[in-house]
Structure 1
Amino acid sequence: MTLKELKAHFTNSLSDLYPSEEIQSFFTILSENYLQLSRIEIALNPAKEISLETKTIFQKALLQLLNNEPIQYILGETEFYGLPFKVNKHTLIPRPETEELVEWILSEVKNIQGIEGEFNILDIGTGSGCIAISLAKNLPTSIVSAIDFSKEALKVACQNANDNQVEVHFFQADILKTAQLPKQYDLIVSNPPYVREMEKKMMQQNVLKYEPDSALFVSDADPLLFYRVISQLAKKHLKPNGNLFFEINEYLSEELRVFLKEEGFQNIEVKKDIFRKNRMIKCNLHERP
């Protein structure tokens, strides 16, 4: 089988399930990983013979794609904020909007003048570790810690920290059952579960079938559950003028803004992502309540 024939088979098999641009992207990504061929090299080498072993690997990936499995889980890795990250069924696949949250945090922290002593950061619900590790990589003098309730997710996060050569202090805890955090922090960030059960009908099957429900969904009756718990902990464990950042549900930004104001947070700012959706919020406490 030639590379051209492999691509034609791959494309025809997926044409009823995915847009053509996405199929092309899948084939390019798999070719880069399994054949070490770029998109241009694929175009320039249509007659390249494909081994039986390679054909078998592509066929396995094809079957997984036909079953809506995300390409990131098929490969076991993805990229976030320019860094490589391992991912699996125990971790969410990092999203572009979360990269925007990291960018916002970095721009805010780098604008802080006269930082003295340790600058402590805590990431709550770290998953693959993408937020914590990206911050540690770009703020090398900071001390970054991260919490998750899942032992399996923390294994992935620890590997990602090692792969990216940064130090992050990971520890296991169920934030909904946590009364105290280990210390005081200059910055607390969280991308908690925020998708309401009612919103499942708007989501793709590859998310619903494969990504961990516990990292995505909250009940319709209490959609701000994690924000409420984390903000209460932040009130006790943020240093004076320390900042709290959240990724948020676009439909609940006003409810969350009002809640944080009632809790005594100040300088509340909602930020839109590149799709003009309310996706991030920042606030702080000037004085300990």
Structure 2
Amino acid sequence: MDTTNVLTKPEQLSTESSAQEDSWTEVIQPRTGLLDLGLADVWRYRDLVMLFVRRDFVSTYKQTILGPIWFFIQPLLTTLTYVVIFGNIAQLSTDGMPQLLFYMGGITIWNYFAQTLTSTSTVFTANAHIFGKVYFPRLTMPLSIVLSNLVRFGIQFALFLMFWVYFLVTTEVVRPNAFILLTPLLVVLMGLLSLGLGMIFSSLTTKYRDLAMLLTFGVQLLMYATPVIYPLSSLSPKYQWLIIANPVSSIVETFRYAFLGAGTFSWGMLGYSALMTLLILMVGTIVFNKVQKSFTDTV
């Protein structure tokens, strides 16, 4: 009598199913941790992140006459406009610094925050056609925006350094200090703060599209609540706390203080900005992870 084990039909199906599961290269499972960013998955898809960065960089100036030269023209024209309007007509204080250098320093660090925030805020609605067709970690999209704008910041920062070196050599009013070493930290704080706020607004715009337009207008107003076109020292102590409550303010002030040697610096203010950045990033992570599971149903 043959003693070979014979599998019943349910056992055969179970064995085939188990073998099939072992052959999958990717298993998509729902995430339960609200604070889980899935950084391991993002690292595995790092080539896709760089592809998105290249796409954002190329598509912006693909069919333009001057191309990447606009990276230099935009901050330069904005700076000259501020010099005429705020420096000469309104005669706002620049703490004794050259107006061109003062405004360019503020614009350089501010533009990175503003552009990253506005672009990240529409990441769900602007890329719904991609999200609905193929799976990839959703966080790769806002991270690619942070990195692509970091490239723009690097180009504009190089322009700022050119003027900074010129004034450093030809004048004695520019007095840089050791706080220049904090520049990478300031850029990281700006990137994380804009990422956290962007994830919050991108989650909200899946249901309320008009928030994107409101945010664009709000960012423009926020610049006037940030010491970009004026130094913090020019404000009355009675109202300074309102500006300091803005976590971007101390980052901008520290950036200018480090390179120009004028302005206001406080470890307490910078620590407050770092704490607020982590808090906003945490809230943004929770909201983003909650919305990404079902946003295709509402977009």
TM-score above 0.5, yes or no: no
Larger RCO, structure (CA 8 Å, separation 6 or more) = 2
Structure ID, larger Rg? 2
